[in-house]
Structure 1
Amino acid sequence: MRLPATEFGLAKLVFKDIFPIVHRELDYWEERANSIPNEELRIQAKASIAHKTFHCEGGSILALIAGEKKNQVIRFIVAYQTISDYLDNLCDRSTSLDPDDFSLLHESMKHALDPQAKLKNYYELREDQNDGGYLADLVRTCQEVLQALPHYKEIQPFLFELCGYYCDLQIHKHVIWEERVHRLQAWFQTNRNRLPEGMAWYEFSACAGSTLGIFCLVSYAARSSFRGCLAKDVRDAYFPYVQGLHIMLDYFIDQEEDRIGNDLNFCFYYESEKKMIDRLCFFLEQANLDVEKIPDSQFHQMVNKGLVGIYLADEKVAKQKDVKTHVRKLLNQGGFRSYFFYSICKIYYAMSKKSKANRVKNNP
């Protein structure tokens, strides 16, 4: 199993072999979303695909680990990430703020990781109901891919663990505003003995909010040569620091829009901007150390440094003076590889924006 050893090789494979498959899968789910009977569910499903495509693109880079099985793994990653983004939209835009509703919705993410799980009506506790089978089809797609994995049983406990963290986070952070921080802090205390010393509650929340560990485990489990004893090593390599780096970068570039929307943002809880940037740099450093303990460590380090460039290249950054001032320090921490992916993604985002504008112009 030979993975790209250079950023140039990785970029070539990503744009040539990964993104076209991702977009083909997303086109299918977008078509399914367009046919959802309920207006609110249809709006949120379409919005999650239209505005969060890069989540599926970024996550699918890990499918390279699966080698010849990468197409099937991308199918899983796109479906699972689409569930995540869709439910996040439903919870963000919810008028009920009901933790039981959020919990039931997110049972779909747990069922998607268990080929033996029986599906249910995940919308039972909310007014909007009829999605034309959209969510159920996403879940079944994930189940089908996992059912065919050579080493699914070895990774199953760790998939369930990481999914449990993710679902708990989504419930706690979407309840009424006055309860969110208290619930997240209490949840952190129940998990504190499993975490590195010095990690704050808002950092743990960020670590819980990523799907990268799940994608990495699934990609390895697609290999016929994968040894089950490595499953825990992969979990430990990605949780907490790789996942935390991923989500803290996401919150870092969303600060302005979260202030405007009065949304919870974990970057707001640092005592100073300097502390926030120092911790982001530490997360990157620790993430690179952790992945040294698993196969293909250079590939994983390249992905970690690429994450920095990918997020900082987002057009949101240029519009935020406070955020923009810290870009150079973060890119310096990632070195040449972060700068490389920063430059490549700047071009890619600009081309994608132009292409989207042309499609809208030609199809009013």
Structure 2
Amino acid sequence: MLRLPATEFGLAKLVFKDIFPIVHRELDYWEERANSIPNEELRIQARASIANKAFHCEGGSILALLAGDNKTKVIQFIVAYQTISDYLDNLCDRSTSLDPKDFALLHESMKHALNPQAELKNYYEQREDQNDGGYLADLVKTCQEVLRDLPHYEEIQPYLFELCGYYCDLQIHKHVIWEERVDRLQAWFETYRHRLPEGMTWYEFSACAGSTLGIFCLVSYAVRPRFRNDLAKDVRDAYFPYVQGLHIMLDYFIDQEEDRIGNDLNFCFYYESEKKMIERLCYFLEQANLDIEKIPDSRFHKMVNQGLVGIYLADGKVAEQKDVKTHVRKLLKQGGFRSYFFYWNCKVYYAMRKVSKRTG
């Protein structure tokens, strides 16, 4: 019988002892692959995505605890899938291409990664930089291999495709030429507005679409031998929109200075004031916790949700941004003891990893 941690201390112990070492073993493998990419531009972006966004894999992989003894396989999927996401985000953010056809083709890899029957193609066909030495294809195949063995893949497939569809559409709209981005995102939002909670804005919907957490949660449950008929839909409803939206708004929250410098679209910039932004972040956290109560293992999900607040706010980028730093305490207070707990534990963990890399 699967036993999930019942306390923050138990969760932290498992995360740092059993989850993060597997995550970093997988990331080390993909980093080595990235280092050998023949094309310089693709190599630079692949390496940068791992170096700067490893905490995305760390945070997402906590959900692999739901898989019990199969957590290693699920972590392989989560790290590979999140690495595709971060790599493509870098390619779209930092490349000279502004072609929606290019972005659409690149992100077909994320759809194929969720379909074990899909045939791979040249995802770089619409851009100048081509030869990645099989890097992206191997990431896709790693995901496919894990999903091929899932006992309940058929039950989760429709929701995997739905959440991935939102994600890929977002990446296309948000990376085209500046003059078109907001108009495209607003028009896209209008097609889904009737399905969304009242009061949600186009930029908040965009944030909800930009997370992979719902996908990771579905895969983690689908390895279990017992799987009730309506569980996949319940998990989708619990994670989308508010859990996913909180996750991505926190990501944008800590990236504000970086995005200003890079002239990148950041959804935090569209709030009428910083006060309103923090109010909405707190509201998303509150609603996420309410939605989580409707699925099994709700205590665990709530711990992870509140823990992610601490994990994001502990990132080194926060200390370098005075405006962002001033709001940390309010967000941690809204998250409660669990957010504070993971905030300080991650601060210590990141400091120890820095020392270890310097001395090792």
Partner of 2:294: 293
Partner of 1:106: 107
Q: Distance in 1 between matches of 2:228 and 2:28?
A: 35
Q: How does 1:1-364 map to 2 (within 5 A)?
A: 1-359=2-360
The answer on whether the counterparts of 1:146 and 1:152 sit within 8 Å (CA) in structure 2 is yes
SS in 2 for 1:52: helix
SS in 1 for 2:293: helix
SS in 1 for 2:187: helix
| One-letter amino acid of the structure 1 residue matched with residue 274 of structure 2 | E
Q: CA deviation at 1:356?
A: 2.6
Q: Answer with 290-299 or 254-263: which moved more.
A: 254-263
C-alpha distance after superposition, 1:254-288 (max 9, x if no partner): 11121122211100111111110010000000000
Q: Distance in 1 between matches of 2:347 and 2:273?
A: 28
C-alpha distance after superposition, 1:303-336 (max 9, x if no partner): 1110111111112112222111111111111111
Q: Distance in 2 between matches of 1:100 and 1:356?
A: 40
Q: Distance in 1 between matches of 2:353 and 2:98?
A: 35
RMSD: 0.9
Q: Distance in 2 between matches of 1:227 and 1:166?
A: 27
Q: CA deviation at 1:353?
A: 2.0
Q: Answer with 46-55 or 114-123: which moved more.
A: 46-55
Q: CA deviation at 1:51?
A: 1.2
Q: CA deviation at 1:157?
A: 0.2
The answer on whether the counterparts of 1:60 and 1:77 sit within 8 Å (CA) in structure 2 is yes
Q: Distance in 2 between matches of 1:178 and 1:324?
A: 31
| One-letter amino acid of the structure 1 residue matched with residue 229 of structure 2 | G
Q: Distance in 1 between matches of 2:226 and 2:324?
A: 44
Q: Distance in 2 between matches of 1:354 and 1:178?
A: 44
Q: Distance in 2 between matches of 1:266 and 1:11?
A: 31
Tell me the TM-score normalised to structure 1 length: 0.97
Q: CA deviation at 1:186?
A: 0.6
Partner of 1:362: none
Q: CA deviation at 1:235?
A: 0.2
Q: CA deviation at 1:150?
A: 0.5
The answer on whether the counterparts of 1:313 and 1:342 sit within 8 Å (CA) in structure 2 is yes
SS in 2 for 1:239: helix
Which runs of 5 or more residues in structure 2 are unaligned? none
Q: CA deviation at 1:27?
A: 1.2
| One-letter amino acid of the structure 1 residue matched with residue 286 of structure 2 | E
Q: CA deviation at 1:127?
A: 0.5
SS in 1 for 2:43: helix
Q: Answer with 227-236 or 147-156: which moved more.
A: 227-236
Q: Distance in 2 between matches of 1:130 and 1:316?
A: 32
Q: Answer with 347-356 or 183-192: which moved more.
A: 347-356
Number of aligned residues: 359
Q: Distance in 2 between matches of 1:47 and 1:269?
A: 27
Identical aligned residues as a percent: 87
The answer on whether the counterparts of 1:155 and 1:228 sit within 8 Å (CA) in structure 2 is no
Which runs of 5 or more residues in structure 1 are unaligned? 360-364
| One-letter amino acid of the structure 2 residue matched with residue 220 of structure 1 | Y
Q: CA deviation at 1:36?
A: 1.2
Q: CA deviation at 1:228?
A: 3.1
